[in-house]
Structure 1
Amino acid sequence: MLVHGSRLASSQWAPQLPLLAPHVDVVTPDLPGHGVRAGERFTLDRAVEVVQEAVALSRAPTVVVGHSLGGYVVLAHAARHAEGLAGVVLAGCTATPTGPGAALYRGVAALTERVGPRRMTRVNDRVLRRLYPAEVIEPVIAGGYYFDGTPDAWREVMTHCRPAMLHGVDCPVLFLHGRWDQFRLGIRAFRRACPHAEEVVVRGASHLVNLDQPERFARAVLDFVERDAG
């Protein structure tokens, strides 16, 4: 299962689908406030419910992968439902959302509110199309942007999500992030909270690691599934 980040939707995973689908079954739910659930208000409890509903429908052991906001949702889900998981992959979400770490999230939410959705859409389109080839980014852009829920989402993360949530998670865990990801700030605290976790740092990648290096991201996930969570 692949759980997307804020402002995007399940379409974020378009680059990974052809790389993963030949090897594993893939599910890509939309979080509250995003995609087909754009009309729902984001709360962490509801987001965890969405993930658990999707896990419950699976007939096989499930590895849940979350990026950025989706990573914190997966963290909260694993803290409550670790017994039903074959493994957890936390990508781009090891900045502890308090103190200096919280500034990153407040900045994202404040910028979104100040600039407004129309201008943010134009900016996002322009930036993403400059950074990525059309075959990678156009399916992601086609899924749309979802700005309304961003302030609620990051308030929930800053209020509830902490590295200590990993203390009771005994299934295999992988921290997966780009070499230049500013959201790695708190990796030491996360590793202390989960000493058995592995860490993979993807060279040539930033926070949007699955877009920067689609093949390396997919390979890291598949290696984890085959080696540790199979």
Structure 2
Amino acid sequence: MVEFVEAGGLRIAYERVGEGPPLVFVHGAAEDSRIWEPQLAGLADEFTVVAWDEPGAGRSSDLPERFGLVGYADGLAVLLKALGLGPAHIAGLSWGGTVLLELYRRHPGLVATLIMIDTYAGWKGSLPADEVRARVAGARKMLAAPDGEFDPTLPGLFANDPPARFVPLLAAIAADVRPATLEHELAIMAETDLSDLLPHIAVPTLLIWGQYDARSPLVVARQFEEAIPDPTLVVIEGAGHMSNLERPERVNDAVRDFCRAHPPGSG
């Protein structure tokens, strides 16, 4: 069931299922909380699982003007405080992992563990400059498409064809993408470099990466692994960038094992 909280004049939607230690999921760009369907279903037997619709996505309010990465992080903090969920296990996919890093930088007391899934320390912080330029150019072309031809599906999301059972879900999410939100997020990613934060992370950290991730390749996972003190890296065989959909059972097992090993308050 979708519920709402108010945060600085914004209406933020979220889904909450299950009972147990809090486990919060933060979606990527051109997505909303529905992208976590297999995690909400698969982990609610042991955890209080929450997935938000970030501002500008899903059933949440449109973005205010001049809304930056800090706004996303602070909005997520408001949600966590309103639900009494901190410190929580918090997982971020792709752009969502960048939001999660900013949350940790600004509100470390809300974070029990970090679960970084196929993500970046911002594009600028994780990718070569020429790759960032190419992505910006591709995004501009996509966003300039005429009405009726706009397709928010970024290239290289899956190692193979999307799993058939999730094709209707992906189509429904894509149909609800707001171009202004996507343009704003991609611009933030192109300018964000949070790599200097990684060596200062002081909570248990799990890195989950698709073996064949073409958007955030394994070399980025290795950057995280080298920079963060004592992380755990799990490579999901046969998966691409959307490893949580392509191999959901494997991702859920990795999250479950890690959260069991690091209950909130144990550090």
Letter aligned with residue 142 of structure 1: A
- CA-based RMSD of the aligned residues comes to 2.6
Match status 1:142 vs 2:176: no
Match status 1:133 vs 2:156: no
Letter aligned with residue 96 of structure 2: G
2-structure distance, mates of 1:155, 1:162: 15
Residue in 2 aligned with 1:93?
Answer: 119
- C-alpha deviations, 1:30-82, integer Å up to 9, x for none? 11221123511452111101211122123463111000111110011112222
2-structure distance, mates of 1:226, 1:123: 34
Residue in 2 aligned with 1:208?
Answer: 242
Are the structure 2 counterparts of residues 117 and 205 from structure 1 closer, same or farther at C-alpha, using a change threshold of 3 Å? farther
Decide whether the 8 Å contact of 1:177 with 1:201 is kept in 2.
Answer: yes
Residue in 1 aligned with 2:74?
Answer: 49
Match status 1:102 vs 2:132: yes
Decide whether the 8 Å contact of 1:4 with 1:67 is kept in 2.
Answer: yes
Structure with the bigger RCO (C-alpha within 8 Å, sep 6+) is: 1
Are the structure 2 counterparts of residues 26 and 118 from structure 1 closer, same or farther at C-alpha, using a change threshold of 3 Å? farther
**Rg larger for:** 2
Residue in 1 aligned with 2:107?
Answer: 81
Query: 1:204 Cα shift?
Result: 1.0
Q: Secondary structure at the match of 1:106?
A: helix
Percent identical residues: 24
Q: 2:145 aligns with which of 115, 118, 126?
A: 115
Query: 1:145 Cα shift?
Result: 2.6
The structure in which a higher percent of residues are strand is 2
Decide whether the 8 Å contact of 1:92 with 1:176 is kept in 2.
Answer: yes
Are the structure 2 counterparts of residues 95 and 111 from structure 1 closer, same or farther at C-alpha, using a change threshold of 3 Å? farther
User: Unaligned 5+ residue runs, structure 2?
Assistant: 1-23
Alignment TM-score, normalising by the size of structure 1:
0.86
Range 160-169 or range 12-21, more displaced: 160-169
Query: 1:88 Cα shift?
Result: 0.6
Match status 1:191 vs 2:225: yes
Decide whether the 8 Å contact of 1:175 with 1:197 is kept in 2.
Answer: yes
2-structure distance, mates of 1:92, 1:214: 13
Aligned pairs, number? 226
Match status 1:166 vs 2:198: yes
Query: 1:121 Cα shift?
Result: 4.0
